[in-house]
Amino acid sequence: MTFILASGSPRRRELMEMLGVKDLKIIPAKGEEHGPEGAGPRELVMALAAAKAEEVAAEAGEDDVIIAADTIVWYDGRPFGKPRSREHAAEMLRMLSGNTHHVYTGVAVLRGGVERLGFECTAVHFREIAEEEIQRYIESGEPMDKAGAYGAQGLGALFVRGIEGDFFNVMGLPLCRLDAMLKEQGVGLL
């Protein structure tokens, strides 16, 4: 049995390696990320995670375990994905400044044609961020490949006043939820 991570995210890979997963294969899904029209955050991230898992399933063996995830920041009734540009990153950070937003991660676990879907939601409270800080943060390059234009495990931690929920969810892979889903598939990480 091999674990297949259907993601190119270095953070997700690091988290799986932190758990000591030895038989880990990385096969990033390459398809377009489009969720159902008008979907709320839960439905959106689960649909995107399921699409990634199903895309990679063609490259998996019968006993392999495919893990896929999709993370968004949800604020003011809309999703914030990865920024399209430096200006877009600055716009997102200005909106999140001094406010609370929610990070949603959908998780799909696929094994032997049986799929489990779940999600996690974590509230993140940002302090007020000065315009100069936003510009210096963007100069670091860190926000450009992250949902909501920040990484709580890096320099973006300087903006986080508090977190309610699973910290690893904010990094892109809710480990407690993942373990429960893997156990439902007959695979435990402990």
Hey, which residues are catalytic here?
70
Whether residue 136 contacts residue 158, with contact meaning beta carbons closer than 8 Å, is answered with no
Residue 100 CA to residue 95 CA, distance in Å, equals 10
Residue whose structure tokens are 């006043």: 161
Token representation of residue 54: 């199903």
Q: What backbone phi and psi angles, to 5 degrees, belong to 176?
A: -65, -45
Q: Which of 69, 67, 90, 66 is nearest to 148 (CA)?
A: 90
Token representation of residue 91: 């716009």
